[in-house]
């Protein structure tokens, strides 16, 4: 299903400017041979990375009309762990994280959102934590002294607060964003992270959020 808007964008940007591939979501300049080469290389690796063939033993923890969420634990069969590694590599690449060192690999829980097209379109990596630092609201107003000097977009409190679950990665495939996939992943983590209880909002913490991550987390935590 193509919208009118998409058709116009495609026609206008066929030979110049930025194009977004409708399969892999990469944004590149179609008129640049280097860019096109990079796209081709990314395209197949990415689509192969998110391909989900279905597993004999899969732990389905939530089901929806447009997909399901599968939980992978550290001692699962190697085919499951390999898929998690592949997806994490794609995610880290996109986020510009170059070394993925989970603090506690034995306790990491990975939640994959599998679409009806049998693709991993969302990924959330959670680990147990004991404390977190609350993000302080951004200084607003032109008088605020920190808005000029402080280039960090936000600041954290110095006072640790008890927490239970740290979300070290959350990612949704570019072409599937704003469909509440991230929200459903976090709801599912709250439900499944600790057996028998639904974690409160302030028992979960997002580590090192990106601008996208912060927009999502702010919205999620206030609703
Ligand atoms: N801008 C503004 N608001 C946003 C954005 C955004 N980019 N993303 C989410 N929200 C808010 C909206 O209010 C949205 O509700 P609405 O669509 O009804 O307005 C609400 O959050 C819920 O959004 P979802 O649809 O559940 O979020 P989505 O599935 O699109 O995933 C995510 C959000 C994971 C941040 C996605 O944009 C993404 O993968 N970005 C790139 C990777 C990234 O930066 N991840 C965060 C890293 S930080 C970390 O991992 C701890
Ligand atoms: Zn592509």
pLDDT digits (tens, 9 = 90+) for 53-79: 999 999 999 999 999 999 999 999 999
| Residue 179 predicted with pLDDT over 80 | yes
**What does the pLDDT read at residue 45?**
94
Residue of 50, 182, 211, 223 best suited for mutating to test ligand 1, as the one with most atoms within 8 Å of CB: 182
Residue of 111, 177, 186, 208 best suited for mutating to test ligand 1, as the one with most atoms within 8 Å of CB: 177
Which atom of ligand 1 has the smallest separation from the CA of 125?
Answer: 50
- Of all protein residues, whose CA lies closest to atom 1 belonging to ligand 1? 215
Better-scored residue on pLDDT, 6 or 183: 183
| Residue 7 predicted with pLDDT over 90 | no
pTM of the model: 0.87
Cα 170 to ligand 1 centre (Å)? 9
Give the residue among 154, 180, 163 at the shortest CA–CA distance from 62: 180
**What does the pLDDT read at residue 1?**
47
The pLDDT tens digits of the residues spanning 27-44 come to: 998 888 999 999 999 999
Q: What is the ipTM of this complex?
A: 0.98
Helix (H) or strand (E) holding 133: strand 131-136
Distance separating alpha carbons of residues 19 and 10, to the nearest angstrom = 7
């Amino acid at each position: 299903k193509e919208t009118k808007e998409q058709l116009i964008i495609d026609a206008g940007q066929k030979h110049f400017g930025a194009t977004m591939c409708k399969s892999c979501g990469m944004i590149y300049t179609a008129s640049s041979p280097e860019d096109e080469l990079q796209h081709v290389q990314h395209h197949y690796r990415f689509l192969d990375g998110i391909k989900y063939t279905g597993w004999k033993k899969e732990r389905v923890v939530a089901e929806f009309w447009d997909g399901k969420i599968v939980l992978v634990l550290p001692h699962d069969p190697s085919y499951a762990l390999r898929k998690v590694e592949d997806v994490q590599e794609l995610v880290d690449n996109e986020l510009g994280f170059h070394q993925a060192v989970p603090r506690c690999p034995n306790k990491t829980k990975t939640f994959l959102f599998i679409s009806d097209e049998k693709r991993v379109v969302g990924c959330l990596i959670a680990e147990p934590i004991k404390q977190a630092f609350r993000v302080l609201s951004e200084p607003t107003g032109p008088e605020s002294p920190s808005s000029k000097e402080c280039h960090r977009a936000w600041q954290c409190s110095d006072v640790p607060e008890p927490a239970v679950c740290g979300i070290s990665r959350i990612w949704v495939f570019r072409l599937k964003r704003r469909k509440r996939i991230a929200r459903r992943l976090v709801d599912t983590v709250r439900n499944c992270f600790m057996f028998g209880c639904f974690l409160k909002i302030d028992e979960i913490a997002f580590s090192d959020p990106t601008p996208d991550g912060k927009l999502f987390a702010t919205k999620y935590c206030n609703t």
